A and B are shown apart, each in its own frame.
Chain A
Amino acid sequence: MQTFDLGAQGLRALNSALHALKGQTNMTEWEVINPKGSHAIAAGVDAALDITVRGSTGYYCAGMNKLATIRIKGSAGPGVAENMMSGSVIIDGDASQYAGATGRGGLLVIKGNASSRCGISMKGIEIVVHGNIGHMSAFMAQSGTMVVLGDAGDALGDSLYEARLFVRGSVKSLGADCIEKEMRPEHLALLADLLKRGEADTKAKPSEFRRYGSARTLYSFNIDNASSY
């Protein structure tokens, strides 16, 4: 295992060392110490690495991640795993605003709570939150799956496209065009798999969740709404 002291060696050295490993496939272990809330830690990694950050991170940790497994042994600042492509990001603590925003693939696991705009404009990413999520989460979410073991804040899934949302607790309010939908066997199977991969299968059962999705009424322009524009 390689240990990188961010306090001593600096962010640019860390990220260029990680970027230089592009194409590596052997899941080399990396440990980043003294993160102290720094921004953009392990952003833009494009290699099958296993990176553990020992502490809390600032903006955009693990942004654009491809292939790597990135573990944060603390809480994450705004925009964690933003635009993730593949791989996984596992946060032991809480995540700030817009966790997993615009993510195209991979798995984001937040073991604490996520604040506002979690999964905003998600496009294929899978997100499992063990705690609660804040307001405007999954806003304009296009595809992918979000699983929330706790509660959701206001305006969940506003202007949603085809992303699937599963919430176990209460939903403070649903956003425009987001409705509750029936749970079918395939959804229970999908949940069982995702709870397992999201390290949440001992905390919750698939049958405890409710499913939310798009009513698809905003997909086409409706002349009756012209005055609203």
Chain B
Amino acid sequence: MCGIVGLFLKDPKLESQLGTLLADMLITMTDRGPDSAGIAIYSAPQKGRAKITVQSSHPEVDFKTLDEDLKNAIGTPVRMLIKSTHAVLEVPVAQMEAARSALTHLRPNVKVMSAGESIEIFKEVGLPRDVARRFDVAKMTGTHGIGHTRMATESAVTTMGAHPFSTGSDQCLVHNGSLSNHNGVRRELKRLGMTFETENDTEVGAAFISHKLQTGESLGNALEATLTDLDGFFTFVVGTKNGFGVVRDPIACKPAVMAETDDYVAFGSEYRALVGLPGIENARVWEPEPATVYFWER
């Protein structure tokens, strides 16, 4: 099963409600997957600033003086916002990579959930309602966001096995389905220099798209390539700094419904997830076609 929701806002007026809308959509999908839940939120980048979202199973130990320690390591002030097991570290864009590599020495047990100018990812084991409350998702604002509630099939129920997966700067992917050739694709991607945190099939899908984007492919082409190179069942929803994409495998047995108005594009594993959106009564609602790439960019 698994439940996916996504919202890409066209009307800035709704940006203050992004977190509320997305959290409600995700909670509606709880019975599609109660193992773990996660959310990626994209907000307008602040000039010259980047955000690294990290996670720790011992936040009280790991996050203590983390901002100070990181500042000493990279030589510029770091702003830290702690939310439960996650912390968002704000650093200058130019020092994002330096900060990431310093983190591996300073706090080897801390995991990087996402890094980029606009993305923040929060994910944990537990029900969507609890995860949303824990990270105060309803208060988040932004331009687009993706949520996922997981029923694990291919790998363990852990924080790192939860979706969204981020394998590139400002990129994320969520997945409903299971990939059958992920070991082979992972091997090839490792050879090409991609790194992996888990044995999870979805992370391979995410890294596959990130690798295409790294080599200069457009989001549309990167999604198109999943149809030829990935084998298995998938409905993917993908986020980039300014884009939002959807693709389903040619068999398309993993459900998907989309809605578009002048104000937004929305995705739900089921129509139930969309019923609370403003103006849904008059939205164009459709089922995305199999083996067809949909994407929007601002």
Binding site for B on A (CB under 8 A): 36-38, 56, 58-59, 75, 77-78, 94, 96-97, 115-116, 134-135
Complex Cα gap A58–B274 (Å): 12
Decide: A77 near B286, CB < 8 A? Known: A96-B255, A97-B253, A116-B252: no
Which of chain B's residues have a CB closer than 8 A to the CB of A77? 255, 270-271
Binding site for A on B (CB under 8 A): 250-253, 255, 257, 270-275, 285-287, 289-290
Complex Cα gap A115–B274 (Å): 19
Whether the pair A58, B287 counts as a contact (CB closer than 8 A) is: no
Which of chain B's residues have a CB closer than 8 A to the CB of A94? 286-287
Whether the pair A78, B255 counts as a contact (CB closer than 8 A) is: yes
Whether the pair B272, A36 counts as a contact (CB closer than 8 A) is: yes
Which of chain A's residues have a CB closer than 8 A to the CB of B270? 37, 58-59, 77
A227 to chain B, nearest CB (A): 23
Complex Cα gap A134–B274 (Å): 23
B38 to chain A, nearest CB (A): 23
Complex Cα gap A38–B285 (Å): 16
Whether the pair B290, A116 counts as a contact (CB closer than 8 A) is: yes
Q: A37-B273, A96-B287, A116-B290 are in contact. List 17 more A-B contacts (CB 8 A).
A: A36-B272, A37-B270, A37-B275, A38-B272, A56-B271, A58-B270, A59-B270, A75-B285, A77-B271, A94-B286, A94-B287, A96-B255, A115-B252, A116-B252, A134-B289, A135-B250, A135-B290
Whether the pair A58, B272 counts as a contact (CB closer than 8 A) is: yes
Chain B residue, CB-CB nearest to A34: B275
What would be 13 A-B contacts, judged by CB atoms less than 8 Å apart? A36-B272, A37-B270, A38-B272, A58-B271, A58-B272, A75-B285, A78-B255, A96-B255, A96-B257, A97-B252, A115-B287, A135-B250, A135-B252
> Which secondary structure dominates chain A's binding surface?
loop
A77 to chain B, nearest CB (A): 6
B286 to chain A, nearest CB (A): 7
- Most chain A beta-carbon neighbours within 10 Å: one of B250, B257, B272, B290: B272
Chain B residue, CB-CB nearest to A93: B285
Whether the pair A36, B290 counts as a contact (CB closer than 8 A) is: no
Complex Cα gap A94–B270 (Å): 14
Complex Cα gap A56–B252 (Å): 21
Whether the pair A36, B255 counts as a contact (CB closer than 8 A) is: no
Complex Cα gap A96–B285 (Å): 12
Which of chain B's residues have a CB closer than 8 A to the CB of A96? 255, 257, 287
Closest 6 A/B residue pairs (Cβ): A37-B271, A37-B272, A36-B275, A115-B287, A56-B271, A37-B275
Decide: A97 near B255, CB < 8 A? Known: A56-B285, A116-B290: yes
Complex Cα gap A37–B280 (Å): 12
Complex Cα gap A38–B272 (Å): 7
Chain A residue, CB-CB nearest to B31: A39
A82 to chain B, nearest CB (A): 15
Which of chain B's residues have a CB closer than 8 A to the CB of A134? 252, 289-290
Complex Cα gap A37–B271 (Å): 6
Which of chain B's residues have a CB closer than 8 A to the CB of A75? 271, 285
A32 to chain B, nearest CB (A): 15
Complex Cα gap A37–B251 (Å): 23
Which of chain A's residues have a CB closer than 8 A to the CB of B272? 36-38, 58
Which of chain A's residues have a CB closer than 8 A to the CB of B257? 96
Complex Cα gap A78–B272 (Å): 12
A176 to chain B, nearest CB (A): 16
Complex Cα gap A37–B28 (Å): 11
Which of chain B's residues have a CB closer than 8 A to the CB of A37? 270-275
Complex Cα gap A78–B255 (Å): 8
Which of chain B's residues have a CB closer than 8 A to the CB of A36? 272, 275
Which of chain A's residues have a CB closer than 8 A to the CB of B285? 56, 75
Which of chain A's residues have a CB closer than 8 A to the CB of B250? 135
Chain A residue, CB-CB nearest to B288: A115
Which of chain B's residues have a CB closer than 8 A to the CB of A59? 270
Complex Cα gap A94–B271 (Å): 12
A225 to chain B, nearest CB (A): 24
A191 to chain B, nearest CB (A): 27
Complex Cα gap A96–B272 (Å): 14
Complex Cα gap A135–B248 (Å): 13
Chain B residue, CB-CB nearest to A134: B290
Which of chain B's residues have a CB closer than 8 A to the CB of A116? 251-253, 290
Chain A residue, CB-CB nearest to B254: A97
Complex Cα gap A36–B270 (Å): 10
Complex Cα gap A75–B290 (Å): 19
Which of chain A's residues have a CB closer than 8 A to the CB of B252? 97, 115-116, 134-135
